[in-house]
Structure 1
């Protein structure tokens, strides 16, 4: 079997694993889990034409509405049907599209890693690590909006990098702009992905102004080769038009506010959610706690006899901590000329998706870190690939050991990602810190 076949089979295997684990027992918990009380309900209200106010742009609810409409045409176990959305719907109907789209997240993150490094090893490790993350998994299994934010934001990043690498760069750049508009229409913080691109282009121009020698194949050189009109049309006009047009269906259904008024109301809504303390919401967490996963979010908890059913929105702990360490190491690689461009790209996008949260006074949650966290996974995979390909047995064995540890951690915490019943003792074995409960 040649290397190309092995590579393709590896990609297929990771995707099938991601798909299978997201769809496993997807219909369980015949209720609305966490913010499904909003998003699944809003999706159904689009279908029945009922007016409502929502605190985010409408695209994720459109997608959930599509999921419900398609899913309602398939037979369902009566035990999985409820009327909590306002109509009789199966739990599968409002969850399956999240599970499907979430299965592509590891491949998209891996695609970004490959475009940055042009190394298949980095691609495979990134994809594999992302498939072993708990937060991406949990967010993919319920009718929530965060997975769509990541899907469109990372797709925009991937298309931008393809625009720098391919001949028909304008087409890829326009696709990138559309995806950034889609991400912003999930949540406004989706603009962090676009901000990271602008920061990277800005630094590229600063490097050029200081006349530092660059290869013609250098990502910075390619970024400065983008014409100003291309950047304006593809990365400003297209995202803005895409974002605005997506409001039209919502405004047809909801007549209470016009386009400008609904934005004012959303802004005022978030301004009213002041404070990041437990008296606002028991799972509020400040931005700096996200780096160590200080306060995961319990999405579902039920005790039946001596068994506990729990779904925790939390990452794979060891993968999370190693990834935070990796992005710090990548900062030091800025001083290495050969590694500077990749390091700068990862850091620009990490900072763009994290630092804006420093000024946010409302209650925030661990899942707000998902965008920034995506780039720490690439950083970790990059370091691990260097270790595995190193001539040093120490680095090679350390990389192997870390990957094995991440695999075992995923298996250990899997019951609280999938809601598999645990004994009280086994539950507390996984809640190793009081703040995790």
Structure 2
């Protein structure tokens, strides 16, 4: 029986695994490493977060994004957006440097059993674990507006369904949303020659401003401190004190989770978007009905002015975000699915200060923990806070002491990395 099984191998899963391995825990990690970044984002996309706010977490802080960029002969500079492909490669490099072995099979179910949990992989093999960390990312939680749910995949998709947009060259696509995913998807489509319209409920588009230099006069920095979620004291509260956020009343947390850091485009995208002349922007409008129409899609749009208009399009891309909930997870069985305490009226599971759910030994990370710990858990920036506290909670749960054993295992892993490098090989991700 393993001490810990991590379900998911994105930034949160790999960060948790790095801390668990260094602590000497008997560890197993499942999932396709950095799958969301490698398989669900088209070429041409860039990180919205600053490079220094996009580090995965290891106990010594040795395997940051800047260290990886240096191996490529480039610099991860403040105010210089990096391609998402580079970030995905960074995650794989992080796993190698942290000496992590990742089993790429998908876990299809998690159920309670005496002494812990029983997990089933996609090929039917089962594994036992004393504790489980769910770091499943965002893909189980995609949001598609209700009027579009009756259409099939050939007619409507979510923005995260696309690693390649070239199928839409020469066609007509309607993008729903006003956030970074919607704006960047629309720009990429327009730049490749697709006729694009953007439909958004909001009355205007919001754009982040150019971030100020990291080195600023003390007075200026005090008025609007830099944080991993942007400048300002409110962002500082969300980014630097998730534990304080968790003490807010449930209703307050739920409200802030759904409203804070609302839809906005990155500062570096604005000029590209506004000069992409083929993007038709329709603000203050919502889709009220959608139906197939001779191989196309007919949308009825309702405006805040009371006007209704019908448009036809070849395809609809809903860039409408993600909402965590147990009903969407589809992974937990029996009491785990039915008995977890949730945050207020939401379907998101409540997490303790150690990121443990109400079922002992079942831990939560990433978007699943955001209604408990706040907006930072929607971003890579929250991985360090999560990994340190979650692994400490696992150690308390399994009675692990770490100490000398952890240091021995960490040194063994580092020696293996060096041996592989000396042979010209790579540490495998299985």
Assess same fold via TM > 0.5: no
Higher relative contact order (CA 8 A, sep 6+): 2
When normalised by structure 1's length, the TM-score is 0.25
When normalised by structure 2's length, the TM-score is 0.25
**Structure (1 or 2) with the greater strand fraction:** 2
**Structure (1 or 2) with the greater helix fraction:** 1
